[in-house]
Structure 1
Amino acid sequence: MPRSDVHPEFHFESWQVWPGSYDNPPASEAIYPFPDVPALKINRGTPIASMGSCFAREIKDVLIDKDYSYIREEAGHPASKHASAAWERTYNAFSMRQIFEYTFDEWRPRVHWWKAPVSGVIQDPYRRIILYGSMEEAGADFERHRLASRNALKRAEILILTFGLTEIWEDKVDGFVICLPAGPYVNEGGDMSRYRFRVSRYQENLDNMERIYELMKAHNPRCKLIVTVSPVHLWATFRKDLDVISASWNSKATLRAAVDEFVSRHDNVFYFPAFEMAVTYRVILGKPLFTEGREPFHVNRETVDFIMDNFFRMFSTE
């Protein structure tokens, strides 16, 4: 008589099976269940650069605090707080690609600067609310920044990229992507008619990652990449068809799928599961993962510590 073998027998490693299911060990309070140790290893002498969205700042701060050789160009610049140069927070893969293009290639947006219509303040549309007193000051600072950006990316033996979201504001004329529709120019009624909001999709995000890889391979071929998806959710969405929670998960899912394909294509690109550690593993442990107060979309200190402890466990020889 026909029958169904509901649970065929396979041999799995413990990290291949959901923690605590059947005979698998429960989730560890301290150790995330990684697969085999990756080929990439770092120590305190390894030059490391990083950029990305809000969680990139956490990575930077911990690496510096633990005395790793974190690359810091433009250290006194207000836009360098979150990364290895004055890139500011880089929320989407388009803005990140543009950094590599203005660093290593031709980059000529038709509108490079905004001038606030009331105060006359000069604003960089492509980096998060960086302001200047004049066009001359803005131009000179950007040229210094391009050199610093080049120095940081060419010095790095490890580059950590943290991807955050898929919502973009795009110039309808030349296709360049601004950081955010915010700051004095927008607040004072500057003309935003040339820009449109849209949600970017899987293939174009993957294409951005490949463009970054292409430029790094050409200008710093020894550099290895660690990529991750930020565990910090969207504070708000510009979408009118989805609530913020659904929009945030769409961003994260799209980026996670693109990153998976990106990593699979290159032997010198590695994935670090910061997102999964926060939004799934910490939940399995029954631990709170979000901050309290005004920023409950951001992961809390305990979650950051858990993620970074496992980062060193996965990659460091120290």
Structure 2
Amino acid sequence: MVLSRLPTKRAMANRKAGRHCRWPDGRQAWGEERVSGLTSVTVQPGFAFSVDDPIMTIGSCFAREIEVVLAARGFDLPALAVTVPDGQRPDGTKPNVILNKYSVHSMENEIRWAFEGPPCEPERFFLSVGDDLWHDPHVVHNVTPGPMSVVQSRRDGIAAMMRELPRCRVVVITLGLVESWFDKETRLYLNTIPPVTVLKQQSRRFELHVLDYGDVLKALDRIHALIAAYGHPEFHILCTVSPVPFKMTYTGQDAIVANTYGKSVQRAAAEVFAAKHENVDYFPSYEIVATSDRQRAYLQDNIHVTPEAVDAIMSTVLDTYCVSGQDAASKDSSVEPG
């Protein structure tokens, strides 16, 4: 499909719209400034919001970093109500680490299950890892297993949080990975790899799927339909691709090659997703980090993004989209969809 069609006069006018339309030329001072340190970008917003708008954050661990910045600015974030006690999650992780959603299917699942109920009985949904110890394969893999009552309580908390969608006019989605584990018994995509003990005992039950562009786009469209059915009547989605790579690939490829494929596929799908829906914008978090000085963009593990980079990304988001409460509605109706 053709993503957009522009008359010649419009295309030529865009050429002169500003220096942001030109690739940063290091021979020019303005070009060097754009990609020196942390890259700066120009974004054309399709909507606006204010601090009075609750924001639903859905996605990978990068969503948790976004929440830190927004919470400090006074935003209402339902995701912060979900917590896993110390001792039941890895040291150094955020209390709501259980919400990390790495594949687009996992994001879709949580919305659907919150409003349409669980897809199967708990004994099939959860994975047994010992005597009265169960693992929820639809949350992060490193949360401590527990009795059925504990893992079910965690799941109930996630569903209750997701049912806050009707009051959230803004939904932020951070796309993560395209390597996704599939449970052939339940016919459900999982959030992460099942525990090694389960894989050894039931190796034929699970398989790794590497999603393609069409898989991602179709899932995003289903997410849009779910939010339209159950969310705020005037919702807007701000979709981005997480700049955080995976720690390792299960494909046997070079991790750099596999990660580039995954991010590229999701980036392409996000662009079309935004073009198809007037209430969806794409924000270039991935591009900002990927073209920035790595020493300032990534921590020493070369995986997690520095607080400085997160602050720069979110400052751009808020400078672009956030207005005072009284001005939000008027600005939202006056801008052209992006």
TM-score by length of structure 2 reads: 0.79
Which of these residues, 5, 19, 24, is aligned with residue 19 of structure 1? 24
Aligned counterpart, 2:323 = 317
Which of these residues, 251, 254, 272, is aligned with residue 262 of structure 2? 251
Equivalent position amino acid for 2:127 in 1: W
Aligned counterpart, 2:54 = 47
Between the aligned partners of 1:203 and 1:315, the Cα distance in structure 2 is: 29
How far off is 1:60 after superposition?
Answer: 0.4
Which of these residues, 184, 193, 196, is aligned with residue 172 of structure 1? 184
Query: Cα gap change, 1:145/1:23 in structure 2, threshold over 3 Å: closer, same or farther?
Result: closer
Which of these residues, 277, 282, 290, is aligned with residue 279 of structure 1? 290
Between the aligned partners of 1:165 and 1:234, the Cα distance in structure 2 is: 7
Between the aligned partners of 1:86 and 1:103, the Cα distance in structure 2 is: 18
What SS does structure 1 have at the residue aligned with 2:57?
strand
Between the aligned partners of 2:80 and 2:306, the Cα distance in structure 1 is: 28
Between the aligned partners of 1:153 and 1:303, the Cα distance in structure 2 is: 28
How far off is 1:316 after superposition?
Answer: 1.3
Query: Cα gap change, 1:42/1:82 in structure 2, threshold over 3 Å: closer, same or farther?
Result: farther
Which of these residues, 152, 171, 193, is aligned with residue 159 of structure 1? 171
Between the aligned partners of 1:120 and 1:184, the Cα distance in structure 2 is: 18
How far off is 1:197 after superposition?
Answer: 0.8
Between the aligned partners of 2:246 and 2:152, the Cα distance in structure 1 is: 32
Between the aligned partners of 1:35 and 1:314, the Cα distance in structure 2 is: 7
Aligned counterpart, 1:211 = 222
Q: In the alignment, is residue 32 of structure 1 matched against residue 58 of structure 2?
A: no
Are the aligned partners of 1:186 and 1:192 in contact in 2 as well (CA < 8 Å)? yes
Per-residue deviation, residues 17-64 of structure 1 (Å, max 9, x unmatched): 11236768323467823143x132122211111021111111001100
Aligned counterpart, 1:289 = 297
* % identity of equivalent residues: 24
Consecutive unaligned residues of structure 2, counting only runs of 5 or more, are: 1-11, 325-338
Query: Cα gap change, 1:184/1:239 in structure 2, threshold over 3 Å: closer, same or farther?
Result: closer
Are the aligned partners of 1:53 and 1:230 in contact in 2 as well (CA < 8 Å)? yes
Aligned counterpart, 2:307 = 301
How far off is 1:243 after superposition?
Answer: 0.6
How far off is 1:158 after superposition?
Answer: 0.6
Stretch of structure 1 that moved more, 262-271 or 219-228: 219-228
Query: Cα gap change, 1:35/1:63 in structure 2, threshold over 3 Å: closer, same or farther?
Result: closer
Query: Cα gap change, 1:311/1:82 in structure 2, threshold over 3 Å: closer, same or farther?
Result: farther
Equivalent position amino acid for 1:125 in 2: P
Which of these residues, 263, 275, 287, is aligned with residue 274 of structure 2? 263
Query: Cα gap change, 1:33/1:134 in structure 2, threshold over 3 Å: closer, same or farther?
Result: closer
Are the aligned partners of 1:73 and 1:86 in contact in 2 as well (CA < 8 Å)? no
Stretch of structure 1 that moved more, 137-146 or 215-224: 137-146
**Cα RMSD for the two superposed structures:** 2.9
Q: How many residues align?
A: 300
Query: Cα gap change, 1:108/1:314 in structure 2, threshold over 3 Å: closer, same or farther?
Result: same
Q: In the alignment, is residue 127 of structure 1 matched against residue 139 of structure 2?
A: yes
How far off is 1:183 after superposition?
Answer: 4.1
Per-residue deviation, residues 145-194 of structure 1 (Å, max 9, x unmatched): 423321x212211110000110011122443111222447548x442321
Between the aligned partners of 1:216 and 1:277, the Cα distance in structure 2 is: 28
Higher relative contact order (CA 8 A, sep 6+): 2
Equivalent position amino acid for 1:297 in 2: I
Equivalent position amino acid for 2:46 in 1: A
Consecutive unaligned residues of structure 1, counting only runs of 5 or more, are: 1-7
Per-residue deviation, residues 182-236 of structure 1 (Å, max 9, x unmatched): 447548x442321101211110110110000001001123211100000111211
Query: Cα gap change, 1:166/1:72 in structure 2, threshold over 3 Å: closer, same or farther?
Result: closer
Are the aligned partners of 2:125 and 2:186 in contact in 1 as well (CA < 8 Å)? no
Between the aligned partners of 2:157 and 2:322, the Cα distance in structure 1 is: 33
Per-residue deviation, residues 59-90 of structure 1 (Å, max 9, x unmatched): 0011001212222464444599869x785210
What SS does structure 2 have at the residue aligned with 1:168?
strand
Aligned counterpart, 1:71 = 78
